[in-house]
Amino acid sequence: MSNPKAITHLQIAMTKREVLEIFFREPRFLTPDAICRQLGKFHHRSSVYSYLFRLHKQGLLLRGGVGGRVAYKISERGIERLNFLKSFYNTGGASRSHI
C-alpha cells in the first residue's frame, strides 16, 4: 500500500526560474551545495550538480571555483532568460539596478 504523504519527484522538481532567481539574488559564485541549501526542499545532491552543469552548457551560468570546489554564477544570458521567464508568467523582470 502506498503512503499518501510520500514525496514524489513531481513535488521536488526544481525549476529553471527558481534556480536562476537564487543566482540573481546572490551575484557571486555559489557552490552546488549552497544552492541545495537555498532550494529549501529535498533535492538529491547529484541532481543539483547535474542540473547546474546543464544550465552552464546552455550558457545561463558561468563556471568557476570557490575554495577549490566547482561553483557557478548567473551569466548575462541567464539574466535575460530569467527576465523572459518572469515576463512569460507576468511577474516583472529582473534588474541589476538594485546592486
CA nearest neighbour of 16 among 83, 99, 62, 98:
83
**Contact, 74 vs 27, CB < 8 A?**
yes
Confidence of residue 6 (pLDDT cuts 50, 70, 90): low
Domain spans of the chain, in order of start: 16-89
Does pTM top 0.85 for this prediction? no
Architecture of domain 16-89: Orthogonal Bundle (1.10)
Render pLDDT for 29-70 as a digit per residue (tens, 0 to 9): 999 999 988 887 667 788 889 999 999 999 999 999 988 999
| pLDDT at 75 (0 to 100) | 97
Residue-wise DSSP of 67-88: TTEEEEEE-HHHHHHHHHHHHH
| pLDDT at 12 (0 to 100) | 57
Q: Which helix (H) or strand (E) holds 54?
A: helix 45-57
